[in-house]
Amino acid sequence: MNILLTGGTGYIGSHTAITLHQNNHNVILYDNLTNSREETLFKIKTSLGLNLKLVIGDVLDTKTLEDTLNKYKINAVIHFAGLKSVDESITQPKKYFENNVNGTHSLIKAMKAVKVKTLIFSSSATVYGEPKYLPIDENHPKNPENPYGASKLKVENILKSLSMSDPSWKIVCLRYFNPIGSHEDVNIGDNPVGTANNLFPIILKVLKKKIKILEIFGKDYDTNDGTGIRDYIYIMDLVEGHLAALNYLKLNSGWHDVNLGTGKGYSVLEIIEKFQSVNNVIIPFKYSPRRKGDVSESYADVRKAKELLGWEARNSLDVMCKSVLKYFVLEQTSKKNVF
Ligand code: WQD
């Protein structure tokens, strides 16, 4: 298939592009490069000999989107493009709705114009908000605690209404829990151009000595050690979930929502301990107040992904932590080799 990846040079988009190509799909990346780098494509080319086509454009630019869909005879779209910082969404909610929601309206308009009706949406477990029960299944109430999550939920509902108005649309909303790690042969880890807010990019900042100490946001949650619990999933397992969703849509239409997680939660302290022990490093940390918008505990009920898509995450936390460190080491050596 000819597949357009909006936000395709981003963390998840670039990893997905590699796997789709390796599964004989023609991949076109569409990105405005505000939170990612063209350098990612250079790394993929030098490491894998893979030349990915990039169209530099904004999802709000419907005409360029439509021209791109036409030019490359796109059959399906994976919509990664969107702002993704919980913190930033709290201080700039309008920017998040403008980009994430209006950007999707623009994409739908362009897809309708060229009669492309297969869409996978990069959603987030943040749509659930504070868990009412655990593990969280797809029917869990949706009460996002921040504008980022609210914007993702709004897009899901727009896509649900689109499917109700035209049941021939083929739509899967993939609710990511916490993707981490990097491709084993290309060092293209989670390294946003903007400020890194996520736990693992900040652990890397500590390793790079860009910051002295990791702040643990909250030691008073109702969890085993008082720190926040999340469901960390290896990026390449998450990518396989997209492939499974694409295969599912070959034979099925309608609107579908699926969690992509491991079904296992780890606290921040457990992550630090595991990261230190598998990598033989020390991550200095201190406790700080809770971060606004954070929930106490979140991990996925993974049954629907297995039953509907025939997919499940396979890699352990040890593999993920080693992958994060490998990315750090490769980054450091590639910087040294530049001079
Ligand atoms: C994880 C845990 C923090 C940083 C968000 C989005 C989600 C997805 C991933 C896009 C929490 C704690 C973190 C730090 C800390 N985004 N933490 N110190 O908030 O669960 O999810 O990012 O796909 O949709 O909602 O991820 O990595 O920011 O935090 O203690 O410096 O680590 O409190 O418990 P989060 P995170």
- Per the structure, the complete domain to which residue 208 belongs is given by 2-334
Q: What is the pLDDT of residue 194?
A: 67
Residue 255 lies in a domain: yes
**Residue 152: CB within 6 Å of ligand 1?**
no
Residue 75 lies in a domain: yes
Q: Which residue has the CA at smallest separation from atom 17 of ligand 1? A: 199
**Residue 205: CB within 6 Å of ligand 1?**
no
**Residue 197: CB within 6 Å of ligand 1?**
yes
**Residue 106: CB within 6 Å of ligand 1?**
no
Q: What is the pLDDT of residue 32?
A: 94
Residue 267 lies in a domain: yes
Q: Which residue has the CA at smallest separation from atom 14 of ligand 1? A: 199
Cα(310) to ligand 1 centroid in Å equals 28
**Residue 216: CB within 6 Å of ligand 1?**
yes
**Residue 217: CB within 6 Å of ligand 1?**
yes
Cα(218) to ligand 1 centroid in Å equals 12
Cα(20) to ligand 1 centroid in Å equals 27
- Return the CATH number at 79: 3.40.50.720
Q: What is the pLDDT of residue 336?
A: 67
Cα(268) to ligand 1 centroid in Å equals 10
Q: What is the pLDDT of residue 339?
A: 44
Cα(16) to ligand 1 centroid in Å equals 21
* Closest ligand 1 atom, residue 202 Cα: 31
Q: What is the pLDDT of residue 117?
A: 98
| pLDDT in single tens digits along all 339 residues of the chain | 999 999 999 999 999 999 999 999 999 999 999 888 888 999 999 888 899 999 999 999 999 999 999 999 999 999 999 998 888 899 999 999 999 999 999 999 999 999 999 999 999 999 999 999 999 999 999 999 899 999 999 999 999 999 999 999 999 999 999 999 999 888 887 776 667 789 999 999 999 999 999 999 999 999 999 999 999 999 999 999 999 999 999 999 999 999 999 999 999 999 999 999 999 999 999 999 999 888 999 999 999 999 999 999 999 999 999 999 988 888 887 776 644
- Phi/psi at 57 (5° precision): -165, 165
Q: What is the pLDDT of residue 74?
A: 98
Structural domain count, the chain:
1
* Closest ligand 1 atom, residue 228 Cα: 34
Q: Which residue has the CA at smallest separation from atom 19 of ligand 1? A: 294
Residue 143 lies in a domain: yes
**Residue 223: CB within 6 Å of ligand 1?**
no
**Residue 228: CB within 6 Å of ligand 1?**
yes
Residue 339 lies in a domain: no
Q: What is the pLDDT of residue 47?
A: 87
Which of 126, 143, 199, 324 for mutating ligand 1's site (highest number of atoms within 8 Å of CB)? 199
